[in-house]
């Protein structure tokens, strides 16, 4: 699933692209002993709690592997069922405790009893668009693992009408038990079927359930989505979103990733409607009712969260450029021809992944469906990938380079899941990163091979790495592998830790092992566990076999602990002392939070090249540098940590920009500002670095993107200080206007993909900081576009920026024009540009109009985050958002309940822009007596961010004012 993340760009610079998801068999024999470079000193057990257990665990897994080495890896429905441990063992979970160590705790994961095992679901559904209900029937083939009187499975918001059990005993007799006693557990979202007699162990049974459900408006389970017909009426589509725990809304099931089964789906619908599911159609029959019954082929073994089915009016286009047919579907309200690019990139992506992973795409078709209402960015349902319309349909005449990159990243992210997640699935949701982090990495890895000129290898440092470091720098972050006990907890870990930090860990490991060896291990992992479930240790084991290194002993520290280190650099001539401590954005690390020592790859860059052998595994270490005039730690920023230099060294690095790669310079900018946030350095050091890079003639888009993003974060921390904000905007204009004027804002055919984004960036930064020439140009474009009918007057690359500049410098006339454009726009990208911009108004009345839109039904529920994001750009907008959230809370929490994946984002958006102690106290008081179910983690992260800004201001306001010449 592709995540919709909060924009990481500075607030007043219109987001031109959402980071790719909230987003991108040869093997050696197993080595019984690890081969680690002699310079790599592993931590001892007294300073790393995980080392001792990871070594022993590594040996245990090795023994298990040797016992099953001869097991076939081809698909077999009976041999590949995941092993299920008894309930008490499954509830014991190793997890990080408050000080970053580990603890063994009994947790209620809501896991089902293990007395029966599902093997096959025969599922029939008939949606009724008139009543917005659906009839369902499911027959579940079960293996009985122990003598039982009850069967418990998941169900949520469905009404069971009838149930029966057909028992096939080992001796061949068949017994039918009707009308068992059914009890429901609302908290655990389960139903228990109790029978009078014992269901004997080793028998086989079929549980037959008939039920009725609602085509809900929650964008979860089997739900309804609307599109507009030419006559103004609404068309309805019945569609699905099962991840993480919403298959139980569509049919009673064993809704856990580890309980893979086969599925045979039948859809009953009007003859003129399109019916889709994971597999190709097996047959279609006309019923006496006049409807049709479309039956699909049986799926391979798969988890419930990947089951998908759609009924509605859909158009499609098809490509045969790949080995199996690829189609793009969209409702009649969309131009299906805008799916051509998705067909092309999908064909290239599947071909690339087949070669990279050494395993053919296993299904007979791939459908990609544009859905009008969709809570996430996209969902990787096996063979039937669903998307927000804007994430799959692309029109190069109305959308710019950034949108093309976003669409490409999302599609290739979902296609990577066809192997990582679908073919090999994590054993439980605590291993979410195994699919999401890898798909994020996979999208970037594949796109870098397909379009190297896009420089996605370099943009990893400015996007995935910074997104992960930002969230993981909060005390309220969580480890990559984190225990989750409730469905609403699971939804909250679909965040930058599971996605971006997971991707960073994969990236760091690939860099350490070497890409070729790393991919050998990946292929081994996939081939060994295909159609099965796997754990992080299974991945480490495969990579250890391929590399001959004890990967678990190194990487467990990164995946099982919250946070990361900052490496402080102290110089004394040619002697350099390095010291690691935990980094917190609030700068108030407690001793008990600073016990973990990370194995850090130093990757020292000097004029002579990169030393890949240096590591830091202890608290501190001294190294000698022969020519200390120039050096940099963490070359290319492949390591997951920040580096603190002295002010003098930082200035030297700024002036030596020509000796640094793009990744180095991006990381230097990001680290400097993050360290200012936490008090390790002064904010003036960051601004001095920005000026040094500007004066040195910095010409790289990604570096400027990071400079402006970090300058925006400084401005947002002081958003309540009008004079400081104005002076920072003057500084932004001073360093960006020359570049904007030189590059211009005409987009030429010869402009490359990155150059187009660079021009758009500088135009926006100069215009939003008040450059008169750019503002005048934007106003002229806006006038021609909105009032004179010249739709070519604004290039798609800068449409959002032109709208924002005009709204910032205009009023109601401009606001009405943008709102009207939203209501009549032809594509989702155009509509999103308008919605995102509405919040940029500085007029209190217009701010209130924007707030009034959010719950009015005039914008789709999935899109409420867009105007909210725009409102976070100004002091007035931030204050208004907090008030709106409090006064509208009952309505918000009803529309986006705890089970919704959107409630945590809304709470975060409405609170983390605040920056004053009084505001923080007000928010904490507001939520004091309210249920935090579904957003407790997000709220804590948001308030941690506010605390960091408050402390940053307390430390550096005088320093900032001095540097800006205000004192």
d(CA 281, CA 368): 16
Q: Is the pLDDT of residue 88 over 50?
A: no
Q: H helices of 696-771, where?
A: 701-717, 722-743, 753-768
What mean pLDDT comes out for the span 855-862? 92
Phi/psi of residue 482, nearest 5 degrees: -130, 135
pLDDT in tens, 634-693: 999 999 999 999 999 998 998 898 999 999 999 999 999 999 999 999 999 999 999 999
d(CA 277, CA 275): 7
d(CA 267, CA 124): 6
As to burial, measured by CB atoms within 10 angstroms (0-12 exposed, 13-18 middle, 19+ buried), residue 572 is: exposed
How far does Cα 851 stand from its chain's mean position?
A: 27
Nearest of 786, 714, 800, 805 to residue 757 by alpha carbon: 800
Q: Is the pLDDT of residue 105 over 70?
A: no
At 97, is the pLDDT very low, low, confident or very high (cuts 50, 70, 90)? very low
What mean pLDDT comes out for the span 490-508? 92
CA Rg, the chain, in Å? 28
Lowest mean pLDDT among 485-494, 526-535, 844-853: 485-494
Annotated catalytic residue, options 414, 440, 545, 814? 414
d(CA 258, CA 533): 6
Give the bridge partners for 621, in sequence order: 578
Q: Is the pLDDT of residue 95 over 90?
A: no
d(CA 854, CA 863): 9
pLDDT attached to residue 170: 66
Phi/psi of residue 224, nearest 5 degrees: -105, 145
Q: Is the pLDDT of residue 98 over 90?
A: no
CATH architecture of structural domain 110-312: Sandwich (2.60)
- Residue 859: asked if its preceding bond is cis (omega within 30°), the reply is no
pLDDT in tens, 608-622: 999 999 999 999 999
What mean pLDDT comes out for the span 100-122? 69
What mean pLDDT comes out for the span 774-785? 98
Tell me the two tokens of residue 837: 């911009």
Tell me the two tokens of residue 583: 């980094």
Which DSSP symbol is given to 591? G
pLDDT attached to residue 29: 31
pLDDT in tens, 394-439: 999 999 999 999 999 999 999 999 999 999 999 999 999 999 999 9
Give the bridge partners for 578, in sequence order: 569, 621
As to burial, measured by CB atoms within 10 angstroms (0-12 exposed, 13-18 middle, 19+ buried), residue 397 is: exposed
Q: H helices of 133-195, where?
A: none
Q: At what angle do helices 875-887 and 917-927 cross, to 10 degrees?
A: 20
pLDDT attached to residue 13: 34
pLDDT attached to residue 493: 87
pLDDT attached to residue 250: 98
Query: Do residues 297 and 280 touch, judged by C-beta distance below 8 A?
Result: yes
At 483, is the pLDDT very low, low, confident or very high (cuts 50, 70, 90)? confident
C-alpha angle 81-87-90 in degrees, rounded to nearest 5: 75
Q: What ranges do the domains of the chain cover?
A: 110-312, 726-837, 846-966
More confident residue, 38 or 598: 598
417 is in an annotated binding site: yes
Which residues neighbour 962 within 8 Å (Cβ) at sequence distance 6 or greater? Answer: 684
Fold classified for 846-966: Zincin-like fold (1.25.50)
At 89, is the pLDDT very low, low, confident or very high (cuts 50, 70, 90)? very low
Which residues neighbour 379 within 8 Å (Cβ) at sequence distance 6 or greater? Answer: 1, 2, 241, 242, 243, 308, 385, 386, 387, 414
Nearest of 26, 25, 60, 35 to residue 548 by alpha carbon: 35
At 42, is the pLDDT very low, low, confident or very high (cuts 50, 70, 90)? very low
Q: At what angle do helices 936-963 and 662-678 cross, to 10 degrees?
A: 90
Fold: same for 110-312 and 846-966: no
Q: What b/e sequence results for 891-928 when a residue is b if at least 16 CB atoms lie within 10 Å of its CB, and e otherwise?
A: ebbebbebbbbbbbbbbbbbbbbbbeeebbeebeeebe
At 3, is the pLDDT very low, low, confident or very high (cuts 50, 70, 90)? low
Q: Is 414 an annotated catalytic residue?
A: yes
Query: Do residues 132 and 237 touch, judged by C-beta distance below 8 A?
Result: no
C-alpha angle 467-472-477 in degrees, rounded to nearest 5: 125
d(CA 651, CA 649): 5
d(CA 446, CA 431): 23
As to burial, measured by CB atoms within 10 angstroms (0-12 exposed, 13-18 middle, 19+ buried), residue 959 is: middle
d(CA 246, CA 1): 14
Nearest of 783, 819, 825 to residue 802 by alpha carbon: 783
Three-state DSSP at 769 gives coil
Q: Mean pLDDT of all residues in the chain?
A: 88
d(CA 475, CA 98): 9
Query: Do residues 243 and 379 touch, judged by C-beta distance below 8 A?
Result: yes
pLDDT attached to residue 492: 86
10 is in an annotated binding site: no
pLDDT in tens, 319-355: 999 999 999 999 999 999 999 999 999 999 999 999 9
Give the bridge partners for 294, in sequence order: 267, 284
Three-state DSSP at 574 gives coil
Nearest of 12, 19, 24, 20 to residue 761 by alpha carbon: 12
pLDDT attached to residue 9: 36
What mean pLDDT comes out for the span 729-752? 96
Q: At what angle do helices 551-560 and 536-547 cross, to 10 degrees?
A: 150
């Amino acid at each position: 699933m592709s995540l919709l993340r909060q924009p990481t760009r500075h607030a007043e610079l219109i987001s031109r692209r959402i980071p790719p998801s909230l987003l991108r068999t040869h093997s050696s024999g197993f080595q019984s002993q690890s081969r680690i470079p002699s310079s790599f000193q592993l931590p001892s057990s007294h300073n790393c709690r995980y080392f001792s257990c990871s070594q022993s665990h590594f040996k245990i897994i090795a023994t298990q592997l040797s016992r099953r080495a001869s097991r076939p890896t081809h698909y077999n429905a009976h041999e590949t069922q995941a092993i299920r441990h008894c309930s008490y063992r499954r509830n014991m979970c190793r997890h990080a405790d408050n000080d970053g160590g580990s603890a063994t705790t009994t947790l209620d994961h809501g896991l089902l009893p293990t007395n029966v095992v599902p093997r096959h679901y025969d599922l029939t559904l008939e949606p009724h668009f008139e009543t917005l209900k659906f009839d369902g029937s499911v027959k579940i083939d079960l293996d009985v693992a122990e003598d039982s009187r009850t069967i418990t499975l998941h169900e949520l918001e469905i009404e069971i009408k009838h149930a029966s059990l057909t028992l096939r005993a080992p001796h061949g007799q068949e017994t039918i038990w009707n009308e068992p006693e059914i009890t429901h557990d609302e908290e655990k979202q389960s139903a228990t079927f109790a029978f009078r007699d014992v269901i004997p162990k080793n028998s086989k049974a079929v549980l037959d359930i008939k039920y009725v459900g609602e085509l809900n408006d929650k964008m979860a389970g089997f739900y309804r989505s609307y599109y507009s017909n030419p006559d103004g009426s609404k068309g309805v589509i019945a569609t699905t979103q099962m991840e993480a725990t919403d298959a139980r809304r569509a049919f009673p099931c064993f809704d856990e990733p580890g309980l893979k089964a086969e599925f045979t789906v039948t859809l009953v619908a009007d003859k003129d409607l399109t019916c889709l599911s994971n597999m190709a159609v097996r047959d279609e029959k006309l019923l006496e009712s006049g409807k049709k019954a479309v039956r699909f082929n049986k799926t391979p073994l798969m988890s419930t969260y990947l089951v998908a089915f759609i009924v509605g009016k859909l158009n499609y286009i098809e490509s045969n450029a790949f080995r199996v047919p690829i189609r793009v579907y969209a409702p009649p309200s969309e131009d299906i021809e805008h799916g051509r690019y998705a067909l092309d990139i999908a064909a290239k992506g599947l071909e690339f992944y087949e070669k990279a992973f050494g395993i053919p795409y296993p299904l007979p078709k791939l459908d990609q469906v544009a859905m009008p209402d969709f809570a996430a960015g996209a969902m990787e349902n096996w063979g039937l990938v669903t998307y927000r319309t804007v994430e799959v349909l692309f029109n190069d005449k109305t959308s710019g380079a950034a949108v093309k990159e976003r669409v490409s990243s999302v599609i290739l992210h979902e296609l990577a899941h066809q192997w990582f997640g679908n073919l090999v699935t994590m054993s439980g949701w605590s291993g979410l990163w195994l699919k999401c982090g890898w798909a994020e990495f996979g999208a970037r890895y594949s796109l870098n091979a397909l379009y190297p000129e896009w420089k996605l290898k370099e943009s990893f440092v400015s996007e995935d790495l910074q997104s992960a470091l930002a969230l993981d720098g909060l005390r309220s972050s969580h480890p990559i592998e984190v225990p989750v006990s409730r469905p609403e907890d699971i939804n909250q870990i679909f965040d930058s830790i599971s996605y971006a930090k997971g991707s960073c860990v994969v990236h760091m490991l690939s860099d350490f092992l070497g890409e070729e060896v790393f991919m050998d291990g990946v292929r081994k992992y996939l081939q060994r566990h295909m159609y099965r479930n796997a754990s992080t240790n299974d991945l480490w084991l495969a990579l250890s076999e391929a590399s001959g290194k004890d990967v678990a002993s190194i990487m467990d520290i990164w995946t099982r602990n919250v946070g990361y280190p900052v490496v402080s650099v102290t110089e004394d001539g040619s002697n350099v002392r390095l010291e690691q401590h935990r980094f917190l954005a609030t700068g108030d690390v407690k001793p008990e939070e600073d016990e973990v020592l990370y194995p850090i790859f130093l990757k020292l860059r000097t004029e002579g090249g990169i030393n890949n052998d240096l590591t830091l595994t202890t608290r501190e270490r001294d190294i000698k540098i022969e020519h200390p005039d120039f050096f940099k730690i963490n070359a290319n920023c492949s390591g997951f940590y920040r580096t603190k230099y002295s002010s003098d060294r930082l200035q030297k690095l700024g002036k030596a920009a020509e000796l640094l790669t793009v990744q180095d310079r991006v990381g230097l900018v990001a680290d400097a500002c993050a360290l200012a946030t936490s008090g390790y350095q002064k904010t003036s050091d960051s601004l001095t670095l920005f000026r040094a890079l500007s004066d040195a003639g910095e010409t790289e888009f990604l570096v400027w993107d990071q400079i402006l993003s970090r300058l925006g974060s400084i401005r947002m921390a002081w958003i309540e200080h009008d004079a400081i904000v104005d002076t920072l905007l003057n500084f932004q204009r001073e360093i960006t206007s020359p570049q904007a004027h030189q590059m211009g804002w005409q987009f030429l055919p010869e402009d490359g993909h990155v150059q187009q984004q660079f021009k758009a960036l500088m135009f926006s930064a100069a215009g939003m900081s008040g450059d008169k020439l750019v503002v005048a140009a934007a106003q002229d474009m806006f006038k021609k576009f909105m009032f004179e009918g010249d739709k070519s007057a604004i290039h798609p690359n800068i449409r959002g920026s032109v709208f924002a500049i005009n709204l910032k410098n205009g009023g109601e006339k401009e606001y009405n024009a943008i709102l009207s454009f939203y209501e009549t726009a032809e594509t989702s990208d155009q509509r999103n540009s308008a919605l995102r911009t509405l919040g940029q108004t500085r007029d209190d009345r217009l701010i209130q109009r924007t707030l009034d839109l959010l719950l009015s039904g005039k914008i789709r529920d999935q899109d409420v985050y867009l105007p909210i994001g725009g409102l976070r750009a100004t002091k007035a907008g931030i204050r208004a958002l907090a008030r709106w959230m409090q006064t509208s809370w009952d309505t918000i929490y009803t529309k986006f309940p705890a089970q919704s994946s959107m409630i945590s984002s809304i709470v975060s958006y409405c609170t983390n822009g605040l920056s004053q102690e009084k505001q923080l106290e007000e928010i904490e008081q507001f939520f004091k007596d309210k249920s935090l179910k579904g957003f407790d983690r997000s709220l804590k992260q948001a308030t941690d961010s506010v605390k960091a800004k408050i402390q940053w201001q307390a430390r550096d306001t005088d320093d900032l004012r001095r540097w800006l010449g205000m004192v």
